[in-house]
Structures are given as structure tokens and as C-alpha cells.
Structure 1
Amino acid sequence: MPALRPRSPGIAFFSRQFRGERMISKRVLAVMAALALCLTALPAAAAEDRQDELVRQLLEEVKALKARVGELESKLAQTSQAAEQAGQQAQEAQATSAHSLKMSEQAQKAKGEQVAGGLLSDAGKRLKIYGAIEVEGQYANLKPKNGPSSSVSDFTLATAEVFIEADINKYVKGLVHMLYEEGDTDPMNIDEAYILLGQTDDVPAYFLGGRMYPAIGLFETSMVSDPITQDMFETQATAAEVGWAQDWFNVGVGAFNADVHQYDDGADNTINTFYARAQFDAPEGALGKDVDLNFGLAYINNIAAGNLREGLLTEYDQIQDLVAGWSAMISAQYEMVAFTAEYISALDDFKAGELYPDDKLKPYAYSLELAFMPFDEWTFAARFEGAEGPTADKGSDMDTPDHRWGLTASWEFLEDTVLSVEYMRFEFDDESEEDCVTTQLAVGF
């Protein structure tokens, strides 16, 4: 083993001192470490306490926030429920309003339809509207006694008429008849308009007032052309009539102011014409299933008040004395055969210069017609008639043939639609003749 070398005393002292200082340093370090640890532990503990406090506060805030959120959710739910209920109520109100509006509209519409339907229904019960349209094509060939013959042809709207008949109540009726005839100087006019009071089963008495055709003739025909009795004597006037009408028999008397008047009457401003009629009319089926009978008589104190006025040659329709007239007619039908006869005549002469320039004249007209109806759709008719009256060659506006006869065939080829063809022969007192062919298409409604 090696010998140890002896050390110097200074080094030994430093070594001991160093060891002592080293030990002191370790203690200091230990104390300082402990202090540091304490110092470190104190903030950590404080921080931990602060953190715990913060967590606690946060938890409390979270709890409060959660409670607030719950409260808001509850209020939101309540608000949403209230809004939903309000929306449902609004929808229900809107639906109710729409339904009410629809019901109101339907009620108004139904009410309007009820009112309109009631009016139409009431009008349908009270009103009757009917009429006819007649379109004619005509060819006429005139053969005078001396000179060449001449012909004319044309299409005309011969008739367009509408009747409006109203049952005002049980005892009152009214009628308006509008008529258009092409070639007439007043083509569209109120042809008839009158009021009828009475003439019912329990009140046979009646009053008839207004514009009408006083019953001077029958004027019934199955042919296209009017009978010559109507051409000469038909009378139209605004009149008043009273009478009595029952089954089998009726009578009536009336009055009106005619344009034709006497010289000494002055201006035409008084009622001057009176008429009376009596008629026998068998009710339908009374004389048998297929028998119909009708006849009558009529009287008028002024025969020139009708169409005969057109034959007057005097100014202002004045004549010396009013001339009376009378008529007799009969109409009978048995099964498919019908017969009509009529006669109208003046009871006295018109003075010279009134209807004839240089002679007196007692005008008259008659008509005889026979109709045969072998089928429901077909009618064949023949007529013979004659007259004595004013003529054009004597300066009158009326040209009356001595005789006239003709044939007609009518075919109802569709419902209320009739096609007719007629041939008529005119024979005048100056020995001239006229042949006339007329085709007519007529509809009734």
C-alpha cells in the first residue's frame, strides 16, 4: 500500500472549512427549498381555493342559467302554444268566415235564384207570349181587257206579330198585340192593346176597353189570303164594349169615335159609331165529339168606319149621312171537313160622289170556304167570294174584284211550321183578270 503523503496545514483548514460551509449550504438550501415549497404551496392552495370558488360560482351561474333557460323554454312553449292556438283560432275564424261568406253567397244566390225563379215562375203563370212569322213569295199576272198583260213578283215579310197576354188576376186580363206588315205605311205598330174585366165562369158580364177589332165579321180562313169580307169591312178602333158571355151564347155592345163622320158634325171630336153583336158558339164536344158549330149576327151604324174608308172619294172623310151595316156568319166542322160562310153589307146607299163618282153604291161582300183535312199535317181549302164596292178605275184607292176564287194546300212538315201554296183568280167589273200564285212559309210560337 502506498504511503500517504502528508498535507499542509492550510489545505487541511480549507478543507474542513469547506466541508462545514458545504454542510451549512445544504441546510440553507434545504430551508430555502422548504420555504420555496411552502411559498409555492401557498399560492397553489390559494389558487385552488379560488378555483373552487370560481367553479362553485360557475356552477351556481350554470344552475341559474339553466333555471333561466328552463323558464324561457317554458315561456317559449307557452308562447308557441298560444301562437298555435291563435293560429288555429285564426284558421278556424278564417274558415268560419269563408264558410259564412260562402254560405252567405250561396244564400244570396239561392235567394236571388228564388226571387228570379219566383218572378219567372210567377210571370210564367201570368203571361202567355205567342206569335207568328210569315214569309211569302208571290207572282201575279194581270190581264187587262185591252192592252198587254203585265206581271210582278216579290218576296215579302207578310206578317211578324207577337201577342203578350197577361192574367192580372182572376177577373182582369190584358193583351198587347204588336204587328209588322211589310209595305204598310206604318209597318210596326201596336195593333191591339186592351183590358178585359170579367167574362169568367162566376162573372159572365164583362167590360172590354182599348184598341181592338170590333166584332163586325168572323174573317176565319184556312187559306193564305184574307177573305174579301175582311179586305172590305174589317174595323179597327179604340173602343169600349160591355157584354155578357157564357157557354152557347154571348152578346156585346160598344162605341168608338170613327174618322168617318157627317158634314154637319164639324170636327171629328165626338163618339159617333155604335155596334152590337150576338153570337152562338157551341162548347167543345157539346154537339158531339167531332162537331163544332158557331154562328152570329152583328150591326154597326157606320159601315164606312172600317177598311171601306179607303174607298171614300170625299175630303176629310166626311159624308152626308152615316150608313149602317150588318153581317151574318156561320162556321161548322164535322170530323175532317169544315165550312165557313160570311156576308157583310151596307143597309143603305152611299150618296153619289162618296164611293162612286156619279152613282150611288150599296157595298157588300160574301165569302164561302170549304176546307178538307184528311191528315193532321195536311189541309186543302177552296174559296169562292164576290163583292160590290169601290174600284181603282173609278179613282178609289180600293180595287174590289167582282169575283175571286182559289185553292190552297198547306203542309205542316215540322211542328208549328207550315208550307202553303195558293192560287187565286181575280175577276173585275171592267173585265180584266189577274192570276196570283203565293207560296208562304209560316211558323207559330
Structure 2
Amino acid sequence: MNLKYFALGVGLIELVNTPVSMADDLESLGVTISGLVQVESRYFRDYEKTETSEMALDEAGLVIDVQRHKWVSAHLAFIYEQESTPLEVDEAFITLGNFEEYPVSLTVGELYVPFGHLETNMVTDPLTLELAETRARTSQLGFKTGPFYGSVYAFNGLTDDKHNTMDHYGGNLGLADDVGGISYDLGVTYINDIDDTAAVSEHLDLEASAVDYDHVGGLSAYLVVGMQPISLIAEYVTALDEFKAEHIAFNGSGAKPQGWNIEAAYNFNVMAKDMTFALGYQGTDESVALGLPEQRYLGTISATIFDQTRLSLEYARDVDYNVSEGGTGNGADSVILQLAVEF
């Protein structure tokens, strides 16, 4: 762990624990501090029927938002994830603009670009996130007018043909509104190369291949509907072309990864506690080389047991690709009990 980040994190935690008067002072300066701690008890049985269990600090995050002027804001987020991320700066960007005053804004810095929507009611991240989530040092021009919103962005990605230029770009367009008590959010997103997404960047090794890399674009479409007490989520993510087989293969040819997520959730109240029961079906196609299952069935029940404190229980069943496709043809199970506190 980087000692500088550790010391900074400790200092920020001490700041959060200072008296309310200090918090009021920060708020008067336009500074807001928030965060999240997620602890999990996990049980896994993998494709080979090997069983494991553990207690895990799944995620800890600390966020600082600063707005000293109505036209300028800054966002700084630290994150720690036990499985994948040591304490580091997750996001750091500045936004020039104010959608309440003007429909256009400019954001520059390190952030997650708007490729994919990636919303879920589950404890486990959706498979669409693995195929779409992209963090980059980018310049993003966004707009919001009425129910319409969108953006365009550009950044220097992992595969820049050795020119070290901002040759990665994309955009999104959406429509979100609330009509007659029914809320909806639908849209499409595009990126000209999915090499920087979570799953692809982990498995794409260009230095080990003598074959030149060609950009592989990506597209996603999503729909989120809320009509209390029911909410629905549907999302589809796909590559727009095949990778070269030397880079990411499927059945002896270049792979064209795809993924989807469908969820239905029911919100209810028990003994004055807000609860949610959700069921989901997720899947992928031509993604065995990315370490993703072909199908996933899962269900989650969660309850707000105290203010900003949520307890969730999730069961998931993964189904691997067939042996002929490079998988095992077997199933895997997981059970996760998560306690999460936001502040």
C-alpha cells in the first residue's frame, strides 16, 4: 500500500470524525465528505466443486466534493477493494458548468466514462460491468436539457498504435423522466475501443502478440423503469466487431464478446424497515477467454436495518461455457452476506 495514500486516508477519516461544528464549517466552504464501507461473509463453490469461505472487507471508499463557485466543482474519490484494488485515487476531476443554469458542462480528469449504465440491485457487480466499465483520464463534454442528457469524450487508451494520442472516444445519449408516477431512464452508449474495459484490459496482452491490434468498438443499450413498488432493469453490451484470434479468441476464431443483465425488484416494508427483493438473469456470449460465465442466475434480499446501514443476502448460480467452447460445462455457486454503511 502506498504510504502517502494511507496517511492521507487516515487524515481524512479523522476529519470525518471531528465535531459537528467542523462539518458545518466544511459545508459552509462548499466541501462535502461522504463514504462507504462494505464487509462481506462469503461462501463459494467453484466449477471444480472446491469450496471456500471467508470474511472480507469488500470495499471502502471516501469521497470529497468541493463547490466553491456555482460554475466550478471538484470531485476526489479514494477506494480500497480487498480483491483487486489497494488504496488509491479512484476518481479525480473538475467540472466547469451548472446544469441548473446552462445545459452544457466540461469535465476533465480521471473518471469512469459513460459507456454502459451498469445499474443493479444485487450485491455482486453485473456481468455487463465487466464488459463496459472504463476508467480513464479524459475530457468529457456533457449536456442536459429537459429529459434529455448525453456527452462526448476522448482519452488516450491502452492501445494507441504507439502514437501516444487521444485516439479513444465515445458518447452517450439518454432520456430520463417521471410521468404519472412511473420513472424511466433509457439510452445508448458507444465507445470506439473496448480494450480499456474491466474484463478486456485484464486479459488483453498486446506485448505478447506480434499481430497488430485493431480497435474494437462497443455499444450498449439500457432501460430502467420504476413504478413503485416494482423496478425493472435491462441492459445489453456488445462488441461491434471481432477481436483478432491472437488477442482474444473464441472457438478458434476472434471473439465478439457480448453481455446482458435483466433484473426485477420489489420494494416493501417490514416492521418499519425498507426492504428489497430482487431476481436477476445475466449472461454473456463469446466471453470465455475473459473469465466470465455463460449464464448467471441470482437473487438478493436486503433491508435497511438502521439509518444508512443496509444488510443484504445474495445467492448466485454461474453456468460455465461448454467444454467444446473452452469452458468446463459445470456450475458454480456463491452466497454472500453483506453489511454496508454509507456516510
TM-score range, shorter chain: 0.7 to 0.9
Does structure 2 retain, via aligned residues, the 8 Å contact 1:199–1:245? no
Q: 1:347 aligns with which of 207, 229, 240?
A: 240
| Residue 45 (structure 1) aligns with | none
Amino acid at match of 1:315: E
Provide structure 2 residue ranges, at least 5 long, that are not aligned to the other structure. 1-18, 322-327
Larger radius of gyration: 1
Amino acid at match of 1:243: G
Give the structure with the higher percent strand: 2
Greater RCO, 1 or 2 (C-alpha within 8 Å, sep 6+): 2
The alignment's TM-score, normalised by the length of structure 1, stands at 0.67
Amino acid at match of 1:326: L
Question: 1:201-224 deviations in whole A, cap 9, x for unaligned?
Answer: 221110011110000011111110
CA deviation after TM superposition for structure 1 residue 118, in Å:
9.7
In structure 1, how many angstroms separate the alpha carbons of the residues matched to 2:226 and 2:21?
A: 42
| Residue 378 (structure 1) aligns with | 275
CA deviation after TM superposition for structure 1 residue 319, in Å:
4.7
Matched, 1:253 2:190: no
In structure 1, how many angstroms separate the alpha carbons of the residues matched to 2:179 and 2:335?
A: 38
In structure 2, how many angstroms separate the alpha carbons of the residues matched to 1:416 and 1:437?
A: 23
Amino acid at match of 1:141: R
Question: 1:324-355 deviations in whole A, cap 9, x for unaligned?
Answer: 11110110100110000101101111111111
Question: 1:136-166 deviations in whole A, cap 9, x for unaligned?
Answer: 011111244xxxx211111110010011111
In structure 2, how many angstroms separate the alpha carbons of the residues matched to 1:132 and 1:399?
A: 28
Aligned length: 312
Amino acid at match of 2:187: G
| Residue 162 (structure 2) aligns with | 266
- SS of equivalent to 1:220: coil
- SS of equivalent to 1:315: coil
Does structure 1 retain, via aligned residues, the 8 Å contact 2:131–2:237? no
In structure 1, how many angstroms separate the alpha carbons of the residues matched to 2:312 and 2:151?
A: 36
CA deviation after TM superposition for structure 1 residue 190, in Å:
0.6
Q: 1:253 to 1:216 in 2, by over 3 A?
A: same
| Residue 46 (structure 2) aligns with | 142
| Residue 192 (structure 2) aligns with | 301
In structure 1, how many angstroms separate the alpha carbons of the residues matched to 2:313 and 2:203?
A: 30
- 1:67-82 mapped onto 2 (5 Å cutoff): none
Q: 1:152 to 1:319 in 2, by over 3 A?
A: farther
Matched, 1:176 2:86: no
- SS of equivalent to 1:187: strand
Q: 1:119 to 1:232 in 2, by over 3 A?
A: same
Q: 1:121 to 1:155 in 2, by over 3 A?
A: closer
Does structure 2 retain, via aligned residues, the 8 Å contact 1:352–1:361? yes
Provide structure 1 residue ranges, at least 5 long, that are not aligned to the other structure. 1-115
CA deviation after TM superposition for structure 1 residue 199, in Å:
3.1
The alignment's TM-score, normalised by the length of structure 2, stands at 0.86
- 1:11-410 mapped onto 2 (5 Å cutoff): 121-125=24-28, 126-144=30-48, 149-184=49-84, 186-261=85-160, 265-266=161-162, 269-282=164-177, 286-288=178-180, 290-307=181-198, 308-315=200-207, 319-356=212-249, 358-375=252-269, 377-391=274-288, 396=289, 398-410=290-302
Question: 1:9-65 deviations in whole A, cap 9, x for unaligned?
Answer: xxxxxxxxxxxxxxxxxxxxxxxxxxxxxxxxxxxxxxxxxxxxxxxxxxxxxxxxx
In structure 2, how many angstroms separate the alpha carbons of the residues matched to 1:424 and 1:119?
A: 44
Question: 1:383-415 deviations in whole A, cap 9, x for unaligned?
Answer: 101002443xxxx5x311000011101011111
Q: 1:379 to 1:316 in 2, by over 3 A?
A: same
Amino acid at match of 1:362: K
Does structure 2 retain, via aligned residues, the 8 Å contact 1:388–1:400? no
| Residue 15 (structure 2) aligns with | none
Matched, 1:423 2:321: no
Does structure 2 retain, via aligned residues, the 8 Å contact 1:138–1:438? yes
CA deviation after TM superposition for structure 1 residue 260, in Å:
2.6
- SS of equivalent to 2:241: coil
CA deviation after TM superposition for structure 1 residue 129, in Å:
1.2
Question: 1:406-429 deviations in whole A, cap 9, x for unaligned?
Answer: 110101111111111100000011
Does structure 2 retain, via aligned residues, the 8 Å contact 1:138–1:439? yes
CA deviation after TM superposition for structure 1 residue 196, in Å:
0.8
Does structure 1 retain, via aligned residues, the 8 Å contact 2:206–2:213? no
CA deviation after TM superposition for structure 1 residue 121, in Å:
4.4
Does structure 2 retain, via aligned residues, the 8 Å contact 1:235–1:305? yes
In structure 1, how many angstroms separate the alpha carbons of the residues matched to 2:208 and 2:158?
A: 8
CA deviation after TM superposition for structure 1 residue 306, in Å:
1.2
Q: 1:399 to 1:422 in 2, by over 3 A?
A: same
Does structure 1 retain, via aligned residues, the 8 Å contact 2:287–2:294? no
In structure 2, how many angstroms separate the alpha carbons of the residues matched to 1:206 and 1:243?
A: 5
CA deviation after TM superposition for structure 1 residue 316, in Å:
6.4
